[in-house]
Amino acid sequence: MIPVRGLENHKVAVLGLGRSGLTAARALAAGGAHPLCWDDGAAGRERAEREGFELRDLTRPGAFDDIDLLVTSPGIPHLYPVPHKAIAAALEAGVAVDNDIGLFFRSLASGDWDRFDTPPKVVTVTGSNGKSTTSALIAHLLEDAGRPVQLAGNIGRGVLDIDPPEDGAVIVLELSSYQTELARALTPDIAVFTNLSPDHLDRHSGYGGYFAAKRRLFAEGGPDRAVVGVDEVEGAFLANQLSVGPSDDRVIRVSSERKLSGPGWSVFARKGFLSEYRKGRQVASIDLRQVRGLPGAHNHQNACAAYAVARCLGIAPRVVEQGLHGFAGLPHRSQIVAERNDVRFVNDSKATNIDSAARALQAFDRIRWICGGLEKEGGLEGLHPHLGSVAKAYVIGREAEHFALGLGSGVDSEVCGTMEQAVAQAVAEAQPGDTILLAPAAASFDQYDSFERRGEDFVARVNAALGI
């Protein structure tokens, strides 16, 4: 655990008692603060009481009269569409609002670091798509190279729940826009921006607010190195703002769409080959086509970003290449779960929005596509240019008929409703060379309580169909 520093003998309110909230309460107590906890749900309050934490209803009048700081969980709205009642009360009372990410950065370093030969470093990863895969891949590459590493944040453990880092260690944090927007301290050594596409727009009052939340990690975090995906205009703008000129190698530009030129530092993938260029010259190249855990251009972008971080940390290209081949991928993210009779089965249940589903559809040649669920705002028109590789769509979800209509007349589709029926029909019709792909382009909550449960159901149905 990372004890929270600088709040000894202070009363700190903790709002939201899920994983991050309870961990924050424990870390506050370990650092000598007095946490006062609240959750709108009875189950959360009961969990806190069982651990001996004091409860206080933060929505009642006067709740913040003696509070020095409010720490809130990332899922609780603090600005848009409207602040939670307790956060609004804290703002009115002039009480500072923070989250566990801010507490982590203010508390990480300790006096023990003076004895380290190599101080620990923090790598942060944000963006719309690919954050989890990129974060996990960075951690894998470092571990494979023999570097002590911990993975935390929006993936793995809570940031305050990790062990105090040792000499030369690296902490890799996946950070969402909810986390970067509110954290009062952001001081990563290396920060990664993968890409940007519309998501969580209600929480940020539009696309500009969403980008601004991501941008804080760089503009206010001031990382020593920034790895920036430049395939969208926002990334290109961010890279431009962070660099002082074309040859500034503190900014590493990354692309999965085109060759990057110029005197600076860049890493890009074209036709399945990763290339690293510095000062206008190629210094390394890796064939990504046979890296089974990273199929498709979107995963090649993740590989480029992770490669760039590894190079910043002094790992040789050949060592990175070896690590890439050992990466199995993450569950529910372009995960190859079975192969039979030259038919591949891929679980990309995490593809919950149009952009991530489009990236998955571009990764394979002939697809029997299982899609559908709770459709997000904006419709499905953004998918239409990427349906050329779809042999047939098998639509699930409570609104499967409406979803199928949104795909348009250019794709053969069948309304299946359930995962069981969709998998059975796709297996029955699959031909050698096909990929049966779950990439829903929708949220899961009409039939499942999470995208993980949806992916697990897909895997179970595939196993049953194949007799595994």
Specify which residues 281 forms β-bridges with. Answer: 278
Query: Which amino acid does the sequence have at 156?
Result: G
* Cβ contact 455:347 at 8 Å: yes
Host H or E run for residue 233:
helix 233-242
Contacts of 81 (CB under 8 A, 6+ apart): 202, 203, 205
Give the CA distances from residue 218 to residues 89, 236, 264, 270, 289, in Å, rounded to whole numbers and listed in that order: 30, 13, 19, 27, 32
DSSP string, 366-431: SEEEEE-SBPPTT-SGGGGGG-TTEEEEEEESTTHHHHHHHT-TTS-EEEEESHHHHHHHHHHH--
Dihedral through CA 117, CA 27, CA 81, CA 376, nearest 10?
70
Dig out the tokens for 439 from the structure: 């990439």
Instruction: Give CA–CA dist 460/84, Å, rounded.
Output: 39
Instruction: Give CA–CA dist 333/330, Å, rounded.
Output: 6
Given CA atoms 411, 413, 419, 422 in this order, what sign does their dihedral have? negative
Dig out the tokens for 276 from the structure: 């690293």
- In 3D space, the residue among 247, 363, 354 whose CA is nearest the CA of residue 298 turns out to be 363
Residue 61: burial class (beta carbons within 10 Å; 0-12, 13-18, 19+): exposed
Backbone angles phi, psi at 102, to 5 degrees: -60, -40
To the question of whether residue 127 is assigned a binding role by annotation, the answer is: yes
Dig out the tokens for 251 from the structure: 């900014």
Instruction: Give CA–CA dist 160/341, Å, rounded.
Output: 47
Cis peptide before 295 (omega within 30 of 0): no
To the question of whether residue 129 is assigned a binding role by annotation, the answer is: yes
* Cβ contact 12:67 at 8 Å: yes
Dig out the tokens for 81 from the structure: 């569409």
Binding-site residues for ATP, in ranges, read 127-133
